[in-house]
Amino acid sequence: MGLKSTGAAVLIVLTAATLTAQPNDVFRTLGTTSDQAQNIIMGSFTSGAVALIGERSVFRSASPDVRAILVQGVIAAARAFTATADFAARYSRFREAQRPQRDTVPQNADEALAAQQKQLEEAISDAQKAAERQSPEVREQLAHNIKYMKEQLAELNADPEHRAAVDAVVKQQAREAEAEYSRRDAAFEVEYPADPKRLIARRLRAFLEMSATVDFSARLVEKEKRMRFADPALEAKPREWKMLYRAGKPAVDAARAAAEEWLKALGT
């Protein structure tokens, strides 16, 4: 083994020892702070997007073996952070902020007609304010029109058949709105389960599924002064897939091994 190879091996051993002893030291190595890194980790789990922590230049300049060690350190630190009460509290706040809300809709004819009357009164008030700058003749005509409109609306709303028709339509719309809320709420519970461990497990499985498809032998070609995949299907892959490709196989293999171990420990 030459001097250069020996130096690289020593660096790998020292880096591994440091990151094993103090998982959060990897953030300092990558040129960021624990707070910044934890915010990115939080965002990654809530959004489901793979994100790079720290300075890109640090990771890009590292050898494949050191990249693998850095990835292991980041995942170890992320695993430790997500087991804290702070992470659970942050996730709970985020989850409540995302929870779907019921739409405020009338439940029967009385509520619908009351809302209609309120809208009419507001429209009349706006029209009267606008008419203050008009001639007396215009204001008189407006008052006449308002009086007529109110009389017609009162007569229509007093009709039992009209009220029954309105009641039927409004109740049907209320049922549809409640069904839509139930659908959105059920989807929300799947996307953001109450137990953060279930969310973490879902994200880890998604990562393992995506990362298993990365073709590290894919050929790149220069197009418009940028390196792109020769295969258009690979060029159309999402940003996260391309990020893993650029990270390299050793780093992704290390991430996959750490993710599989984490998933197994979660037991979900």
Task: Write the pLDDT tens digit of every residue in 253-267.
Answer: 999 999 999 999 998
> Does 250 reside within a domain?
yes
- Are 50 and 246 in contact by the 8 Å Cβ rule? The answer is no
> Does 104 reside within a domain?
no
Residues 52 and 86 reside in one and the same domain: yes
Residues 87 and 198 reside in one and the same domain: yes
pLDDT beyond 70 at 104: yes
Residues 80 and 149 reside in one and the same domain: no
Domain boundary pick from 158, 191, 224: 191
Residues 211 and 170 reside in one and the same domain: no
Residues of the domain holding 47 = 3-98+193-266
> Does 84 reside within a domain?
yes
pLDDT beyond 50 at 20: no
Residues 178 and 168 reside in one and the same domain: yes
Rounded mean pLDDT, 31-35 = 91
> Does 103 reside within a domain?
no
Residues 9 and 82 reside in one and the same domain: yes
Query: At which residue do the structure tokens 């990020």 appear?
Result: 243
The three-class DSSP label of residue 227 is strand
Q: How far is the CA of 70 from the CAs of 14, 60, 205, in angstroms?
A: 12, 11, 21
pLDDT digits (tens, 9 = 90+) for 45-79: 999 988 889 899 999 999 999 999 999 999 999 99
Residues 91 and 200 reside in one and the same domain: yes
pLDDT digits (tens, 9 = 90+) for 221-230: 999 889 999 9
Domain tally, the chain: 2
CA 173 to chain centre: 29
Residue 166 is which amino acid?
A: V
- Are 204 and 259 in contact by the 8 Å Cβ rule? The answer is yes
Rounded mean pLDDT, 138-160 = 80
Cα distance between residue 238 and residue 192, in whole Å: 22
Contact partners, residue 186, CB within 8 Å, separation at least 6: none
Cα distance between residue 44 and residue 40, in whole Å: 6
Domain boundary pick from 191, 208, 233: 191
Residues 36 and 14 reside in one and the same domain: yes
Domain boundary pick from 161, 191, 221: 191
Cα distance between residue 73 and residue 22, in whole Å: 9
Phi, psi of 46 (to 5 degrees): -75, -30
Residues 77 and 153 reside in one and the same domain: no
Q: How far is the CA of 159 from the CAs of 154, 164, 208, 209, in angstroms?
A: 9, 9, 64, 62
Give 139's strand partners: none
Residues 181 and 255 reside in one and the same domain: no
